[in-house]
Structure 1
Amino acid sequence: MAFLGLRKWPTPVLKPMWPFIAASTVTFYLVSKAQDLGVRSDAYKNDPRNPYREEIAKQEAAAHH
């Protein structure tokens, strides 16, 4: 007998979803790395629209010292 549609044993959620969770994690990591490489590329690191321009300049200045 079900009470309000709930079963006696819980329906597994994590076990069938692990491939999607793993793929989402890998995709998020790779997109993050691609964005970081794109922001720091020579073509865009001095672009005034780049929100990380000052941070990149500080890191380069510290690396040259």
Structure 2
Amino acid sequence: MAFLGLRKWPTPVAKPMWPFIAASGLTFYLVSKMQDAAVKSPEFANDPKNPYAEQIARQSHH
């Protein structure tokens, strides 16, 4: 008999979801690396709208 819809053995959540969680982490990591590479590219390094332009300029002098 179920009490308020809860069964004796809960439905597994993490076990069937691990591929999606792993893919989400990998996607987040790769997109952040691509964004970092794009922000530091020569085309956008001197763009005044680039929020990291000052930081890139300081790193290029060293």
Same fold by TM (over 0.5)?
yes
**The structure with more helix, counted as a fraction of residues:** 2
Write the deviation string for residues 20-43 of structure 1: whole angstroms up to 9, x where unpaired.
Answer: 001001111110000000000000
Aligned positions of 1:1-65 closer than 5 A: 1-61=1-61, 63=62
Question: Which runs of no fewer than 5 residues in structure 2 stay unpaired?
Answer: none
How many pairs does the alignment contain?
A: 62
Write the deviation string for residues 1-51 of structure 1: whole angstroms up to 9, x where unpaired.
Answer: 111111111111100000000100111111000000000000001100001
Under a length normalisation based on structure 2, what TM-score does the superposition of the two structures give?
A: 0.93
Q: Distance in 2 between matches of 1:11 and 1:49?
A: 49
C-alpha RMSD of matched pairs (Å): 0.8
Give the 4+ runs in structure 1 shifted more than 4 A. none
Q: Distance in 2 between matches of 1:50 and 1:3?
A: 57
- What is the DSSP-based 3-state SS (H/G/I as helix, E as strand, rest coil) of the residue aligned with 1:43? helix
- Matched to 1:46, the amino acid is N
Question: Which runs of no fewer than 5 residues in structure 1 stay unpaired?
Answer: none
Under a length normalisation based on structure 1, what TM-score does the superposition of the two structures give?
A: 0.89
